[in-house]
Amino acid sequence: MKTIVIFPALLFALACGVQAQESWVTQNSGFTTILHSVDFVDSNTGWIDGGLKTTNGGATWTYLASGGGEAEDFIDANAGYCAGTDGHISKTTNGGTNWTVNNSFLGSASFNAVHFANTNVGWIAGGSPPSPAYILKTTNGGTNWTSQSFSAISTLKSIHFVDANTGWAVGTIANTGGGAVLKTTNAGVSWFSQADSAVNGLSSVYFVNANTGWAVSGYGQMIKTTNGGTTWVTQYSSTIYGFNSVQFLDLNTGYAVGGSIGNIILKTTNGGTNWAIQFRDSVATHSLSCVHFVDATHGWAVGTKGVILKHIGIPVSVLPNKLSTEYFGISNSGQLCYQVPYSSQVSVLLFDPNGRLKLKLFDGYQMAGNHALPLPAQLPGVRLLDLRIGDFHKAIALSGQK
């Protein structure tokens, strides 16, 4: 320990009130390569790139005999589809344990996005210059596919439907590099252009209904439509970060992820008018590829270096007033109260007199604000509490513990 501050008692008394806060915590994928996509069907069961699976909310991940790819969509706990940039298409009917691989397009196509309306009807979007972009459709569970190409578009990165008929696909216009938007209202029988030349190539699209949707760009732009894509307005623009994935839970609450000089997660609670940083690190070349929520509390983001981040809404406590110049204190009710001055990594650890770790109270990312953690009623053998908030560090000697 570098710094030890001795207090005669358990610091000073503070009153703590309770409210819900949000945090993103790291989960172990076991991989150091880039993770492209994440998809969950409930708060426990999910997949990454079709090759990693969890049945406990990401606490542990199991590597499957992968037939997966960079894009995936699971309809339920058993049925799912994956597609890869090498042109293969895979289907599972037992939750990813086994995959049936369709190599009809192997080596001649590059797939970036998958969306299925049900176990039979689905679409795959892709394209890689100099070939034109294309969209495939199946109505018999992937046995047969029909293809449409779009010569004015170099690639399509994302596809999303709000019902069996109405959907959008986004990517890059071939000649200008601008944002390409395609829309269908007849289940993909035909598509028409809603290109937005005001933004650069688009990487992800998400609609909450037939009128309201958002798209993000790898060049740092976010756009919104409220008339089904007829017109788009720019809501956010960054010269530092690019965005790879966006999802909204309703008309107001949404998340966007990306990076370049580090992973970043943004959240809005007013339909994209304002965005706040929920997670950020400064590891060069790191970037998040995909974000997916199954409800307002449970969400995941994946990206480079095998990173998995899980969103949790945890009950923590908030101090009624700022703690003068101090970051921490212990309340009469036995809670460790501390202040996070800016969103950062936080760890709270308990050690015995010999420096051995006895208990990990918290280790993850927390938003700026006031927080509290309940301390165990009995702390046998504990003599030191180690609190780290970003670069801030305090080691607190605990007196009177048996």
How is 177-221 classified by DSSP, letter by letter?
-EEEEEEESSTTSS-EE--EEEEE-EEEEEESSSS-EEEEETTSE
Domain ranges, ordered by start, for the chain: 5-16+319-397, 25-311
Burial 200-235 (b: 16+ CB within 10 A, else e): bbbbbbbbbeeebbbbbbbbbbbbbbeebbeebeeb
The pLDDT confidence band at residue 285, using thresholds 50, 70 and 90, is confident
Report the pLDDT value the prediction gives residue 335, as an integer from 0 to 100: 80
pLDDT digits 0-9 by tens, 90-103 = 999 999 999 999 88
Residue 139 is predicted with a pLDDT of 97
Mean pLDDT (whole number) for 209-234? 95
CATH number among 2.130.10.10, 1.10.1130.10, 2.40.50.140, 2.30.30.230, domain 25-311: 2.130.10.10
Residue among 210, 202, 180 nearest 192 (CA): 180
DSSP label at residue 353: T
Strands across the sheet with 17-27, in order? 5-6, 392-397, 384-389, 344-351, 357-366, 17-27, 308-318, 299-303, 288-293
Q: Which fold has domain 5-16+319-397?
A: Immunoglobulin-like (2.60.40)
pLDDT tens by residue, 113-155: 999 999 999 999 999 888 899 999 999 999 999 999 999 999 9
Write down the number of H helices and E strands in the chain. 0, 37
* pLDDT at residue 389, as a whole number: 76
More confident residue, 241 or 211: 211
Query: Tokens standing for 229?
Result: 């894509």
Express each pLDDT in 351-382 by its tens digit: 877 778 888 888 887 776 778 888 877 767 77
> Tens digits of per-residue pLDDT, 183-193?
999 999 999 99
Q: What average pLDDT is seen over the chain?
A: 84
pLDDT at 288: 96
The backbone region for 95, taken as left when phi is positive above 0, alpha when psi lies in -120 to 50, beta otherwise, is left
pLDDT band at 324 (very low <50, low <70, confident <90, very high): very low
What confidence tier does 386 reach under pLDDT thresholds 50, 70, 90?
Answer: confident
The predicted pLDDT at position 56 comes to: 95
Question: How far lies 28's CA from each of 114, 214, 287, in Å?
Answer: 25, 30, 17
**pLDDT at residue 368 in the model:** 66
Query: Which pLDDT value is given to residue 20?
Result: 39
pLDDT band at 326; cut points 50, 70, 90? very low
pLDDT at 358: 82
pLDDT at 328: 67
Give the span between the Cα atoms of 38 and 76, in whole angstroms: 14
Looking at this protein, which amino acid is placed at residue 94?
Answer: N
What pTM did the predictor assign? 0.76
Confidence of residue 387 (pLDDT cuts 50, 70, 90): confident
Cα separation values, 390 from 161, 310, 346, 359, 395, Å = 41, 19, 6, 20, 14
**Distance between CA 44 and CA 60 in Å, rounded?**
11
pLDDT of residue 145: 95
What the block records as the tokens of 176 is: 């200008």
CB 311 within 8 A of CB 298: yes
pLDDT average, residue stretch 283-287: 79
Which of 236, 245, 241 is closest to 292 using CA atoms?
A: 245
- The pLDDT score that the predictor gives to residue 92 is 95
Task: Give the residue carrying structure tokens 């969306």.
Answer: 115
53 three-class SS: strand
- Reading the block at residue 21, the tokens are 């806060």
Whether the per-residue pLDDT at 394 is higher than 50: the answer is: yes
Query: What 3-state DSSP class applies to 116?
Result: strand
Share of the chain above pLDDT 90, in %: 55
Question: Coil, strand or helix: which one is 325?
Answer: coil
Q: Which residue has the higher pLDDT, 6 or 40?
A: 40
Q: Given a cut of 70, is residue 18 above it in pLDDT?
A: no
Strand order in the sheet with 213-217: 202-207, 213-217, 221-225, 233-237
Q: Stretch 257-277: mean pLDDT, rounded? A: 89
Higher pLDDT, 16 or 113: 113
Residue bearing the bigger pLDDT, 280 or 402: 280
